[in-house]
């Protein structure tokens, strides 16, 4: 069976209405297959079976609500991104009964382009975690091995894409939360420049670092979806949003590569060396470099992100937002009881850490120094990109880890974000991509570029994807089988992209 939506998305950034029945049989059957696969993975935590889509006029390009029962290309969103009428629980007990009154700007743009949002994906509570285990809905499993983590905090989105249930999903990236799960699940993940996608409708974790990102089944989708959800100049609902009309050149000649000498698994090192050799084979000028900024990047990130989290989550008090404790005896008691029952252990830890960092007597010692080092990281990367077009480095020190891995504690997972947080601290675009498979698990790397070079990064990934093997997870193959999608046709179309 031919997958018409591949041709549709590749020929236009404005998607005309396309029936789900043409992709997966009737839409009821599509959701039945998702639910069957999802029992093992727990990637979806809410299904939007009453889909309301918009048709796009092929001539005028204006969006109107669809009058028919047809639907467009399916996609999923992380549970901390607002869609009007759908839950906005952020995988937290505190917001378990909260329904969004608005569309996030990025969601409105997806709907205007004709996409169908079929459900919400699991996540670490309020985006705080690297494993998608800190959730009121339980943990999400990796489609390559259900005993392993899909990464976090956007692990639900990555697992849904890697399992073939949707061709792409939105996540949020504060310190690698799109790129790390994409790497663990063997798919592609893009974190745009800070402000390139409006943050309106994204529940804030760390306001100066948060970005809505894209996880996709193959690289050409990243550029197409980004062109739809990026801000067109500015978003009046988000003063931090901006994207210029003219962006830097898409040309790539010189590539810098950072391969750590220690604290990295042999499989990750071998994958990086393979990537270097492949790029050199097709003519890129590749230079291995050393970057001391990674010695303190994780500490800087944790200082800034927890400090901002303690401020942002102060609004969730059981009064303005959140589930109230009916037994409270006073307003102060209500706030204390609501947060104690509503927040999970990881959120409590980060909020308390942030409050400690910001308290009188400690702010200069921790937060102010972290901000100074953040500026140093920004200047270091700015200087680097005067000589190189792109920087390639690891995403995480290991492949996907087992849930019962006692050697990789929550704190060790935080330190593992060392390589991914620098792009957020500098506000730069970055994307992770699969490179190789070791022990039946994907291994990937990431590419970072100067500000507003999303097109440069995406085209680089598209032009070099043939250098590396692409595989479908066991659960993706199972999904294709149950949904009557022809995997051979799918593979043939992949090769033609």
Q: Which residues are catalytic?
A: 78, 153, 177
Please give the distance of CA 417 from its chain centroid, rounded to a whole number. 14
Phi and psi torsions of 47, nearest 5°: -110, 130
End-to-end Cα separation, the chain, in angstroms: 18
CA 156/CA 163 separation, integer angstroms: 10
CA 225/CA 218 separation, integer angstroms: 12
Cα 89-92-321 angle, rounded to 5 deg: 65
Cβ burial of 375 (10 Å; 0-12, 13-18, 19+) is exposed
Three state DSSP letters for the chain:
CCCHHHHHHHHCCCCCCCCCHHHHCCHHHHHHHHHHHHHHHCCEEEECCCCCCEEECCCCCCEEECCCCCCCCEEEEECCECCCCCECCCCCHHHCCCECCCCCHHHHHHHHCCCEEEEEECCCHHHCCCCCCCCCCCCCCECCECCECCCCCCHHHHHHHHCCCCCEEEEEECCCCCHHHHHHHCCEEEECCCCCCCCCCECCCCCCCCEEEEEECCCHHHHHHHHHHCCCCCECCECCCCCCCCCCCCCCCEEEECCCCCCCCHHHHHHHHHHHHHHHHCCCEEEECCCHHHHCHHHHHHHHHHHHHHHHHHHCCCCCCCCCCCCCCCHHHHHHHHHHHHCCHHHHHHHHHHHHHHCCCCCHHHHHHHHHHHHHHHHHHHHHCCCCCEEEEECCCCCCCECCCCCCCHHHHHHHCHHHHHHHHHCCCEEEEEEEEECCEEEEEEEECCCCCHHHHHHHHHHHHHHCCCCCCHHHHHHHHHCCCCHHHHHHHHHHC
């Amino acid at each position: 069976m031919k997958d018409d939506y591949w041709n549709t998305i590749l020929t236009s950034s404005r998607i005309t209405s396309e029936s789900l029945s043409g992709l997966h049989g009737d839409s009821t059957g599509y959701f039945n297959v998702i639910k069957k696969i999802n029992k093992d993975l727990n990637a979806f935590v809410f299904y939007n079976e009453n889909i309301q889509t918009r048709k796009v006029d092929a001539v005028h390009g204006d969006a109107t609500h669809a009058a028919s029962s047809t639907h467009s290309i399916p996609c999923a969103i992380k549970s901390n991104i607002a869609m009007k009428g759908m839950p906005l629980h952020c995988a937290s007990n505190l917001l378990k009964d909260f329904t969004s009154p608005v569309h996030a700007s990025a969601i409105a743009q997806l709907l205007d382009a004709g996409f169908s949002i079929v459900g919400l994906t699991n996540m670490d509570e309020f985006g705080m975690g690297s494993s998608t285990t800190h959730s009121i809905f339980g943990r999400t499993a990796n489609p390559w091995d259900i005993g392993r983590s899909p990464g976090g905090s956007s692990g639900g989105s990555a697992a849904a894409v890697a399992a073939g249930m949707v061709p792409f999903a939105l996540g949020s990236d504060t310190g690698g939360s799109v790129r790390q799960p994409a790497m663990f699940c063997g798919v592609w993940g893009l974190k745009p420049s800070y402000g390139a996608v409006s943050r309106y409708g994204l529940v804030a974790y760390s306001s100066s670092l948060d970005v809505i990102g894209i996880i996709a089944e193959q690289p050409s989708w990243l550029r197409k979806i980004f062109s739809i959800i990026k801000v067109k100049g500015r978003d009046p609902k988000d003063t931090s949003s901006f994207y210029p009309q003219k962006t830097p050149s898409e040309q790539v000649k010189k590539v810098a590569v950072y391969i750590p000498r220690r604290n990295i698994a042999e499989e990750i090192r071998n994958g990086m060396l393979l990537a270097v050799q492949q790029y050199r084979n097709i003519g890129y000028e590749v230079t291995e470099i050393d970057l001391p900024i990674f010695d303190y990047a994780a500490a800087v990130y944790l200082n800034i992100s927890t400090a901002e989290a303690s401020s942002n989550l102060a609004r969730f008090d059981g009064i303005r937002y959140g589930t109230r404790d009916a037994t409270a005896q006073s307003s102060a008691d209500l706030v204390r009881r609501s947060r104690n029952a509503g927040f999970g252990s990881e959120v409590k830890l980060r909020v308390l850490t942030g409050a400690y960092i910001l308290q009188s007597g400690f702010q200069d010692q921790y937060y102010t120094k972290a901000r100074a080092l953040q500026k140093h990281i920004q200047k270091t990367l700015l200087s680097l990109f005067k000589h190189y077009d792109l920087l390639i480095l690891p995403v995480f020190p290991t492949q996907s880890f087992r849930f019962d891995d006692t050697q990789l504690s929550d704190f060790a997972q935080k330190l593992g974000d060392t390589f991914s947080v620098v792009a957020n601290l500098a506000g730069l675009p970055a994307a992770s991509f699969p490179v190789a498979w070791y022990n039946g698990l994907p291994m990937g790397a990431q590419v970072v570029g100067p500000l507003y070079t999303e097109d440069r990064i995406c085209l680089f990934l598209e032009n070099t994807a043939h250098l590396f093997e692409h595989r479908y997870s066991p659960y993706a193959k199972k999904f294709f089988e149950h949904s009557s999608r022809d995997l051979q046709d799918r593979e043939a179309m992949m090769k033609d992209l």
